[in-house]
């Protein structure tokens, strides 16, 4: 058991104060506070407690649970890495981290085999995981190899300083060739994975630009300002133009499209490296399966013109 004793030196929210004093993320500290691992003047409190100068804070962190997730010697494309972080190109069909009873065939299993070090801040289930991609979305993810990198990358994400760009194929033709979708997203039902537009949801902003219209389909470049669950899929489905192959949000495929996943790929990620202080830009080519779909559609709809 690791124990920290601190004295408040200013009036500030408890969770914010601890995140600025200790090497833990604010969300992890909030979890510890809610679990009763933090006391202020001997009392269990809430993360939102406003500290007074001189308050005595005690924090107890349990020893990390032994990692029971197996390492898997399966393909992993590492696009960039240094001693602090790595950028990997996730294939479609791979879940990012273990969930429920699934302890195998996730990106984490592969990371544990291919990378010597991973940050521990995400816990035993999510070592190194700073952000995620949906199971059937391919493309680039940044992974933290040290706790310092994890904290600083998380801060960059929160401040919208990690640029993430995608390519997607939509059903139908968009009215505007470029624009921004600013609609809050929330879970439709606590027991379902489906998300939707909700006035009580979290702020979600998606920027887009039409690349090409291919008959009744549109190829679009997308940039994320925020990173909500299923954000791109939910926003375009709401506009009536769901992602091709996305059955959850109405993107059922016609006879002219054959896909085993939805057409969404994270092709570019860029940020200013918070430790070595230089710009990092990484790219991942559109997977062959998606390139083949575009080729077939162009051939078909070009002939019909």
Contacts for 59 with CB less than 8 Å, ≥ 6 apart: 3, 4, 5, 6, 18, 22, 29, 32, 37, 38
- Residue 62 in contact with residue 37, Cβ under 8 Å? yes
Extract the residue ranges of the chain whose pLDDT is less than 70.
1, 23, 62-67, 100-102, 124, 190-191, 303-305
Q: Write down the residue that tokens 């994975």 correspond to.
A: 193
Give the pLDDT score at 295: 94
Alpha helices in the chain (DSSP H): 14-21, 26-34, 107-114, 147-158, 231-238, 288-303
Sign of the four-CA dihedral 155, 159, 160, 162: negative
The CATH superfamily assigned to 163-267+283-303 is: Pseudouridine synthase (3.30.2350.10)
- Write the pLDDT tens digit of every residue in 203-248: 999 999 999 999 999 999 999 999 898 999 999 999 999 999 999 9
Residue numbers annotated as active site: 134
What is this structure's pTM? Answer: 0.79
Which pair of tokens denotes residue 84? Answer: 């602090």
CA distance 116 to 118: 7
Are the beta carbons of 289 and 260 closer than 8 angstroms?
yes
Q: CATH homologous superfamily of domain 77-158?
A: Pseudouridine synthase (3.30.2350.10)
Chain-centroid distance of CA 111 in Å reads: 16
Neighbouring-strand partners of residue 106: 95
Q: CATH topology of 2-61 equal to that of 163-267+283-303?
A: no
Q: Take residue 88 and report the two structure tokens written for it.
A: 């990997």
CA-to-CA distance for 22 and 20, rounded, in angstroms?
6
Domain ranges of the chain: 2-61, 77-158, 163-267+283-303
DSSP state of 64: P
Given this model, what pLDDT does residue 64 score?
55
Give the pLDDT confidence score for residue 173 in this predicted structure: 96
Helix axes 14-21, 26-34, angle to 10 degrees: 130
Measured in whole angstroms, how far is the alpha carbon of residue 217 from the centre of its chain?
A: 27
Tokens of 96: 């990012």
Model pLDDT for residues 13-36, shown as the tens digit of each residue:
999 888 888 867 777 788 889 888
CATH superfamily of 2-61: RNA-binding S4 domain (3.10.290.10)
């Amino acid at each position: 058991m690791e124990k920290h004793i601190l004295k408040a030196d200013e009036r500030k929210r408890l969770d914010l104060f601890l995140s600025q004093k200790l090497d833990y993320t604010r969300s992890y500290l909030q979890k510890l506070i809610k679990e009763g691992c933090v006391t202020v003047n001997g009392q269990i409190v809430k993360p939102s407690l406003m500290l007074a100068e001189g308050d005595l804070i005690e924090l107890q962190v349990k020893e990390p649970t032994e990692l029971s997730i197996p390492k898997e010697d399966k393909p992993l494309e590492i696009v960039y890495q240094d001693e602090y972080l790595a950028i990997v190109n996730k294939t479609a069909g791979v879940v990012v981290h273990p969930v429920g009873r699934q302890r195998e065939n996730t990106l984490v299993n592969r990371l544990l085999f291919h990378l010597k070090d991973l940050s521990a801040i995400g816990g035993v289930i999510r070592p190194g995981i700073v952000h995620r991609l949906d199971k059937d979305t391919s493309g680039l993810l940044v992974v933290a190899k040290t706790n310092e990198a994890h904290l600083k990358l998380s801060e960059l994400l929160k401040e919208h300083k990690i640029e993430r760009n995608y390519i997607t194929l939509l059903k139908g033709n968009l009215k505007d060739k470029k624009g921004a979708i600013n609609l809050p997203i929330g879970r439709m039902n606590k027991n379902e994975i489906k998300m939707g537009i909700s006035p009580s949801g979290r702020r979600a902003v998606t920027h887009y630009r039409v690349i090409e219209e291919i008959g009744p389909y549109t190829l679009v470049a997308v940039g994320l300002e925020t990173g909500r669950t299923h954000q791109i899929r939910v926003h375009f489905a709401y506009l009536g133009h769901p992602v091709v192959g996305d059955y959850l949000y109405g993107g059922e495929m016609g006879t002219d499209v054959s896909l085993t996943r939805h057409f969404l790929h994270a092709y570019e990620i860029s940020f200013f490296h918070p430790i070595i202080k230089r710009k990092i830009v990484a790219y991942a080519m559109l997977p062959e399966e998606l390139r083949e779909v575009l080729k077939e559609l162009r051939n078909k709809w070009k002939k019909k013109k």
